[in-house]
Structure 1
């Protein structure tokens, strides 16, 4: 495919956010669209009488060779491996462009990256405006283990990076949606011998491939848009460094932070519709962002797909598509409460990236954000219906 990817451009009323063509598959296959890639990612060769995607393999212990005992490459115990994980890891690794290790949740994946890489005396830089639980984990568990924790906003400025062991960035950041230049930061960190990990949760591997941009690790919560049905918890980390992959796999086995086989199977099943879901969510976000920007009840709105957004320039260079998450601020908690109560199609719920549009007032969780800040995750509803519902809820504020 030589033009823009099929089903990949999203716009509303003449405004388009142009996306880059899908990258070439590993192994030199011809270029294919994102829809083709996600449908076939990790799916085994066709065998007559077998399903497209084999069902989950349930097992804690497996049969061992009675004389030789455990053998390399043969499943022996469910905490260390499972064929259903391997199929999912193959699919995600194909999309991210690296070796994938799956975990029980996004936080399990983040903590595995931090604790398997960092040692006493190291310095780590974490996003000051990213997911607040990541900052809380770093402050609570890394500092008391002799690791120096430095916070930096996603859009900068950043401290001197020459002596940093690990730079963790989240781009787009959650919930503020700032974006950083991954390639530029990776060059600075690598010059001092450090590593770069990118939280790719909001973007997904169809939105950006951090490993292609110089990152050493791409880590994410698969709970969100990657699987998109709001019914499982999952995390993963991808890398092209065999030693890092071995360290992450060893950490998972030692701590038991493993995904269940049924969750892994559900995740693999769900990835097949990722391109379709993202296309509609991005289109909805583009439309909703314009409504929010024009409404007098809205104090501010962030969506990197808008040319007026401070993150647009970097996002348009770095990302292949902008996610369906829009963050906006109302006058305060009372206004946010009125919006959530007046909306019909917008569910009050945390998390994001699901089929249903949801809104989360982030301050209620202890996130250091304004009381009226709402992270709106656009679902796959008809755009006109969602726009009308959001406008109705905004008009209800103060009425």
Structure 2
């Protein structure tokens, strides 16, 4: 796999550990604690220039985390209180009544639900296309925004970001990429031509299953200011403590992702050809239909893969018999989890499983999963 960034002075691990930290000062902590404030001192009767004045408009704890994430994404990061807040803020900031919007038909179901239910008053021309295509000629004609999700959740399909961005830009459309599954060190959509990248940082970026957070990163200064204004006026602001927890957690992102990918590779290898398993998909698998496309644009593999068991009861029995794997509807955490996606309304078979490999020992995890299946 290649490194699209290419010019970073430091490696992923260093940037995860050091990103957004202040210069060292004797007697100060390495990562300052969260700043809890509603109003700030103005220094006089009027607002001082370039200082915090009210907690909804700015907070130094947010900015430190935004600096760290923005460095990984390669753009200006705007922090938001959840992944859905990131999606909704971006869509509301870009779209106008009657606009055409391209969405992945196989991506996160709540994105489609939000557009259908909460943006109904905009009377949008919504065009849904599967992540791997086909993307016919004219797919982006008259489109305001193309939202991609790759690898897709939960199907784990991959699209060519650079090629689709070039086509969309030629048609006058902006391109945003939901990068939740890959993370900023697994894939850099802004380097591949996207105008915006967003993610649910609740997942692998923070990785401890204890924070709700999201973000949008963009290249363009004016676009970033538009998103900041939307956040301030809507009140969709992150909590200082959650932001500080996320920044603390980011220091181990490189290590966690490496172990999760190692465990995913071991599990996928063990499940290949297993009589109880069908529909096994992981971009890191050489025979996966998306492998070559993923290899060209992803900087490393992740810990999320999918497969199918016979039915819902089989998934329930699998979880019951496992000692290490639990049922949960998030992914990217320290613990290995499975989520039977049909229960949430995803258009998948009843036995469809999204597996999120955690940070357990590979040998223990493989033995436990095989025992639970057998």
Same fold flag (TM > 0.5): yes
Residues 19 and 277 of structure 1: CA distance in aligned 2, closer, same or farther (over 3 Å): farther
1:154–1:179 Cα contact (<8 Å) kept: yes
CA displacement at 1:127 relative to structure 2: 0.9
**What are the residue-to-residue correspondences of 1:100-115 with 2, within 5 Å?**
100-115=77-92
Of 347, 363, 366, which residue of structure 2 is paired with 1:387?
366
Which position in structure 1 is the counterpart of 2:20? 42
Residue of structure 2 equivalent to 1:203? 182
State the Cα distance separating 1:145 from its structure 2 match: 1.4
The yes-or-no answer on 1:365 pairing with 2:348 is no
Q: How far apart in 2 are the matches of 1:154 and 1:142?
A: 22
How far apart, in 2, do the equivalents of 1:71 and 1:369 lie?
A: 55
**Is structure 2 residue 149 aligned with structure 1 residue 170?**
yes
Counterpart of 1:53? 31
After superposition, give the CA deviation of every residue in 1:209-238 in whole Å (9 maximum; x if it has no partner): 000000000000000000100000000000
Structure-2 separation of matches of 1:162 and 1:147: 14
The one of 205, 208, 215 equivalent to 1:226 is 205
- Superposed CA deviations along residues 344-384 of structure 1, whole A, max 9, x for unmatched, are 10011110000000110011112221100010100000000
Q: Which residue of 1 aligns with 2:107?
A: 130
Deviation at 1:198, TM superposition (A): 0.2
Any residues of structure 2 matched to 1:1-399 within 5 Å, and which?
18=1, 20=3, 23-25=6-8, 30=9, 32-67=10-45, 69-159=46-136, 160-395=139-374
Contact kept in structure 2, 1:189 and 1:196, CA below 8 Å:
yes
Task: Using the TM superposition, give the Cα deviation of residue 289 of structure 1 relative to its aligned residue in structure 2, in angstroms.
Answer: 0.8
Kept in 1: contact 2:260–2:359 (CA 8 A): yes
Task: Structure 2: state its 5+ residue gaps.
Answer: none
Alignment check: 8 A CA contact 1:142 1:148 kept: no
What CA distance in whole angstroms lies between the structure 2 residues aligned with 1:55 and 1:289? Answer: 40
Using structure 1 for the length normalisation, give the TM-score: 0.91
Instruction: Give the 4+ runs in structure 1 shifted more than 3 A.
Output: 18-23
CA deviation after TM superposition for structure 1 residue 275, in Å: 0.4
Q: Secondary structure at the match of 1:197?
A: strand
SS in 1 for 2:119: helix
Question: Separation in 2 of the partners of 1:77 and 1:112?
Answer: 21
Normalised to the residue count of structure 2, the TM-score between the two structures is 0.97
Shift of 1:258: 0.6
Unaligned runs of 5+ in 1: 1-17
1:66 CA displacement: 3.2
Task: Say if 1:292 and 1:328, in contact at 8 Å, map to a contact too.
Answer: no
Cα RMSD (Å)? 1.2
